[in-house]
Structure 1
Amino acid sequence: MNLCFAWMPAALLWASTSLAMAAYPEKPVTLVVPFTAGGPTDRVARDLAEALRQPLGASIIIENVSGAGGTLGATKVAKAPPDGHTLLLHHIGMATAPALYRQLAFKPLEDFEYLGLINEVPMTLIGRASLPARNYGELTQWLNANKGRANLANAGLGSASHLCGLLLRQHLRVDLMTVAYKGTAPAMTDLLGGQVDIMCDQTTNTTGQIEAGKVRAFAVTSAKRVSTPQLASLPTLAESGLKGFNVSIWHGLYAPKGTPQPVLDKINSALQIALKDRAFLQRESNLGAMVVNDARVQGAEHKKFVTAEIAKWGPVIRAAGQYAD
């Protein structure tokens, strides 16, 4: 009898995980985006949700939980029930938050289950349409002639545009005023209106504005040129003189720590199908984003990648001396 009872916990565990796999998803899945609606990360999330619905077999609700550089939304998911019905889509901020915030309510490498990397997005250096500079060389001349007056917009501490701006200022060695906004949308609105001078932002957010001629485009931040027709003529910043400059913003998918492995496996399987969806691939390509198709679409490799990114960005942020309490 004792031997029989000894097997019962294992049998019950097997049965419960099997039931979790079979029953999941039992209701709509909430995909938390830790930034405002209308921004580049929100766009990626909505495109992915469309491609993910059928293979996952669930409706997907986008919930924008913005604030504190993406940490509010990430914290919400870290504390959510670990049943696979609340997921997080986050960008490079998952790796930079430990250096940016002295008091962080979550631990990126401990409080989440890693589901896979989604894409990598180059950024573009753009300016208001009324800027007299027509190319990168002319832009640097204009910035040097307007030291202390020229300004650089970003979407707030920890945003992609903020991180790109940190590196840009270090490389340019020009005295630029920084104008921080509460999200990408208001920053872009003021750039379009001519209230700010330049901004560094993801191609997912700038390609349409560049194509429409509403902003001046000077360069892309990736190591190689972007192949999309709208951006193919733009040089890289490295080509333009900023040797070694290479910034791409990536996005990944996460679940709360403790989510059952069968549920994680089901989500990851659905994610891999979604990343091969033709409509999703085309939408991402049109925006200059590169969908990941290597080992990083698996949770373990995704986590290794983020670990390396934490080590990469920590010294850059600490050197800039920019922290949030």
Structure 2
Amino acid sequence: MRVWLAAACAAAAVASVALPGADASAQGFPSRPVTMVVPLGPGGSTDVVARVVAEGMRAALGQPVIVENTTGAGGTVGVGRVARAAPDGYTFGIGHSGTNVVNGAIYPLQYDLLADFEPIGLIASQPFFIVARKTMPAANLAELVKWLKDSDGRATEGTSGVGTPSHISGVLLQNTLGVKWTMVPYRGAGQSMQDLIAGNTDIQLDTPATSMPHIQSGLIKVYAVTAKERLAVAPDVPTTDEAGLPGFYYSFWHGLWAPKGTPKEAVAKLNGALKTALADPTTRKKLVELAQVIFPPEQQTPEALHAFQKAEIEKWWPIIKSAGIRVD
């Protein structure tokens, strides 16, 4: 009998060791810090939003959420890192409509944006500011449009990289105006903004999160917000409708994804932590101050993110491919 009991206990012990990730909740996930991968450089809106959300999730998870920037190729390197990470819940990534939608139409990716990830939840969306170097002679958007048309293609626009929202919105602006200029890609919005401040580029379409401190300090000029309504955090900035470019709207969104095969229990805990963070008054205030429009609770689910991302792919890929935007 003793031999049988010892054998049974040993078998049970082996079984429990052999299936370390089978039940994330039973094993107390998370039992150590988790990592949020940011696929773009420090200082841009994705990085800023990531750090606000990570801090909000930390309290809910009871573990630190370490934010790590993994840059390159318009965010494809960082998203690829998430795709290849161990599917245990301890590594997940933040992405947006560029990194997790547009890139699939312009880069030869080694992963599938829908099939190789577990959606966690939507965070928020935001419009862009149309900004320029402080030495730009144009006093308003109408004058900026005239300056761009008169520049005969010599104007320059900094972007966060090929295929990023700042690039795509710039292409849409070119198409709207019927004018071409040079797109200058950087590894993130923080770097492109520094060159705009230095006067090395002429214009930029950038998020309020990145632009507002520099607008307030007078380092750059702002002409309009690409939304139907003015922002509460920037009530003096006119909409594109008001500034003379009616119907030109653009916004982009952020969400969280884990590697494919991450246990449902871990995804559920990460989603629960995200929802808790987005409901927290302190986190909400920080995001709203960054001009973020937080998705309602019913759109913060993994299922809603998957459906939303799929719809965005179906909407944008034909537009991007018809414009001939591609990186080989």
Same fold (TM over 0.5): yes
Q: Distance in 1 between matches of 2:265 and 2:130?
A: 43
Other structure's SS at 2:279 match: coil
Question: Does 2:129 align with 1:121?
Answer: no
- What residue number does 1:30 align with? 35
1:15 Cα offset (Å):
11
- What residue number does 1:192 align with? 197
Q: Distance in 2 between matches of 1:294 and 1:173?
A: 40
Q: Distance in 2 between matches of 1:214 and 1:35?
A: 23
Partner deviation per Cα, 1:230-250 (whole Å, 9 max, x = no partner): x21222224434343221111
The answer (yes or no) to whether the contact 1:52–1:271 under 8 Å persists in 2 is yes
Unaligned runs of 5+ in 2: 1-11
Other structure's SS at 1:303 match: helix
Partner deviation per Cα, 1:124-157 (whole Å, 9 max, x = no partner): 1100011111110111111122222222121211
1:67 Cα offset (Å):
0.5
RMSD: 2.1
Percent identity (aligned): 39
Question: Does 2:249 align with 1:246?
Answer: yes
Letter in 1 for 2:137: P
- What residue number does 1:87 align with? 92
TM-score normalized with structure 1 length: 0.91
Counterpart among 105, 115, 125 of residue 99 in structure 1 = 105
1:17 Cα offset (Å):
4.6
Counterpart among 58, 68, 71 of residue 66 in structure 1 = 71
Q: Distance in 2 between matches of 1:147 and 1:294?
A: 48
The answer (yes or no) to whether the contact 1:95–1:108 under 8 Å persists in 2 is yes
TM-score normalized with structure 2 length: 0.90
1:21 Cα offset (Å):
4.2
Q: Distance in 2 between matches of 1:305 and 1:312?
A: 11
Q: Distance in 1 between matches of 2:86 and 2:20?
A: 20
Other structure's SS at 1:250 match: strand
Unaligned runs of 5+ in 1: 1-7
Counterpart among 271, 280, 286 of residue 283 in structure 1 = 286
The answer (yes or no) to whether the contact 2:86–2:259 under 8 Å persists in 1 is yes
- What residue number does 2:83 align with? 78
Partner deviation per Cα, 1:71-113 (whole Å, 9 max, x = no partner): 1111111111111000110111201111111x11111110111
Partner deviation per Cα, 1:287-309 (whole Å, 9 max, x = no partner): 21112224220010111111111
Other structure's SS at 1:66 match: coil
Q: Distance in 2 between matches of 1:316 and 1:242?
A: 21
> Does 174-183 or 80-89 show the bigger shift?
174-183
